[in-house]
């Protein structure tokens, strides 16, 4: 696909997906939705990629739905009822679900405002690193809408139920320092160091065994919906799979030889 609103870059085991509508603060339109879905599908199928970074071009991460001059959200402009539901279900919700279901660690590099659906894109990533310019806002209730892209499911799991309720009901922004304090940001770094620090973390993760990373992410999220007994069964099965891999043998050998392991994903 010839991308117009997304940049996809790949380096050693790391893919960076950049939302590229800086003149619109990377606001979400139908083209961006289509291209984000395609980019995520691309990295999901690429066995050389072990970590994915999501960010925005320019001074924003993603400003949410692109508002038309007529005052409508571009993604659902001119549709009502079932048409609206289908636009949400088969559009922006797919991006959030694909981020969550991607069997590779994801990092949101939050360089500026993450609003509405853009906030949910960041929440759907496993980790979030931001600069002092980072700011999160839902804001749906301020324009008469309710979150439709997964925010009500994601936020309580990231910052807790009471904080999520306040965030949703007031529509107030959360600035970078507060976001780090409540765990919305894993790390807060100076703007000039944001890309360097994010890539350093991605590289650190990417040096680990791909099979072990995928199975760890699976357990992490599936475990949220399981009791301890079921989660323990899944953990035993995952450890059996990982323990039968060539990477496990290499990891043990490298440990004994006091060197860094070279993992192949087999």
The string of pLDDT tens digits covering residues 156-186 is: 999 999 999 999 999 899 999 999 999 999 9
> What is the extent of the structural domain holding 67?
6-206
Q: What percent of the chain has pLDDT over 90?
A: 65
Higher pLDDT: 211 or 146? It is: 211
Is residue 106's pLDDT more than 60? Answer: yes
pLDDT score recorded for residue 73: 54
pTM comes to 0.90
State the pLDDT at residue 58. Answer: 95
Report if residue 41 sits inside a domain. Answer: yes
For residue 134, being part of any structural domain is answered with yes
pLDDT band with cut points at 50, 70 and 90 for residue 144? confident
Q: Are 122 and 223 within one domain?
A: no
pLDDT reported for residue 143: 77
| 225 inside domain | yes
Name the β-bridge partners of 10. Answer: 15
Q: State the chain's mean pLDDT as an integer.
A: 89
pLDDT band at 70 (very low <50, low <70, confident <90, very high): very low
CA dist 251 and 245 (Å) reads 10
Tally of structural domains, the chain: 2
In a shared domain, residues 45 and 137: yes
Q: From CA 86, how far away is CA 68, in angstroms rounded? A: 20
Residue 124 φ then ψ, to 5°: -75, -15
Sign of the C-alpha dihedral, residues 225, 105, 160, 138?
A: negative
pLDDT band at 246, cuts 50/70/90? confident
Q: For the residues 22-39, what does the mean pLDDT come to? A: 93
Is residue 190 a part of any domain in this protein? yes
Residue 266 domain-assigned (yes or no): no
Local confidence band at 74 (pLDDT 50, 70, 90 cut-offs): low
Instruction: Tell me which of 67 and 102 has the higher pLDDT.
Output: 102
Q: How confident is the model at residue 71 (pLDDT cuts 50, 70, 90)?
A: very low
Query: Can you give the pLDDT at residue 97?
Result: 92
**What mean pLDDT comes out for the span 209-214?**
92
Q: Same domain, yes or no, for 63 and 182?
A: yes
CA dist., res. 79 & res. 93, Å (int): 17
Give the separation between CA 129 and CA 190, rounded to whole angstroms: 10
């Amino acid at each position: 696909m010839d991308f117009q609103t997304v940049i996809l870059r790949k380096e050693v085991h790391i893919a960076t997906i950049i939302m590229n509508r800086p003149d619109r603060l990377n606001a979400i339109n139908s083209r961006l939705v289509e291209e984000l879905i395609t980019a995520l599908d691309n990295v999901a199928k690429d066995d050389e990629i072990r970590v994915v970074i999501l960010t925005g071009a320019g001074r924003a991460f993603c400003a949410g739905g692109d508002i038309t001059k007529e005052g409508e959200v571009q993604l659902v402009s001119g549709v009502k009822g079932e048409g609206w539901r289908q636009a949400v279900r088969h559009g922006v919700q797919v991006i959030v679900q694909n981020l969550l279901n991607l069997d590779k660690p994801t990092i949101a590099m939050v360089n500026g405002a993450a609003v509405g659906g853009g906030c949910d894109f960041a929440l759907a990533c496993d980790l979030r690193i931001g600069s002092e310019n980072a700011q999160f806002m839902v804001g749906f209730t301020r324009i008469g809408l309710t979150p439709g892209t997964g925010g009500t499911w994601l936020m309580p799991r990231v910052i807790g139920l009471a904080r999520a309720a306040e965030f949703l009901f007031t529509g107030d922004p959360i600035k970078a320092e507060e976001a780090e304090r409540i765990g919305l940001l894993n790390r807060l770094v100076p703007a000039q160091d944001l890309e360097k620090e994010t890539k350093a973390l991605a590289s650190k993760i990417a040096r680990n065994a791909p099979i072990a990373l995928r199975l760890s992410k699976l357990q992490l999220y599936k475990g949220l919906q399981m009791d301890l007994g079921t989660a323990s069964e899944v953990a035993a099965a995952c450890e059996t799979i990982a323990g039968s891999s060539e990477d496990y043998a290499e990891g043990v050998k490298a440990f004994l030889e006091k060197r860094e392991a070279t993992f192949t994903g087999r």
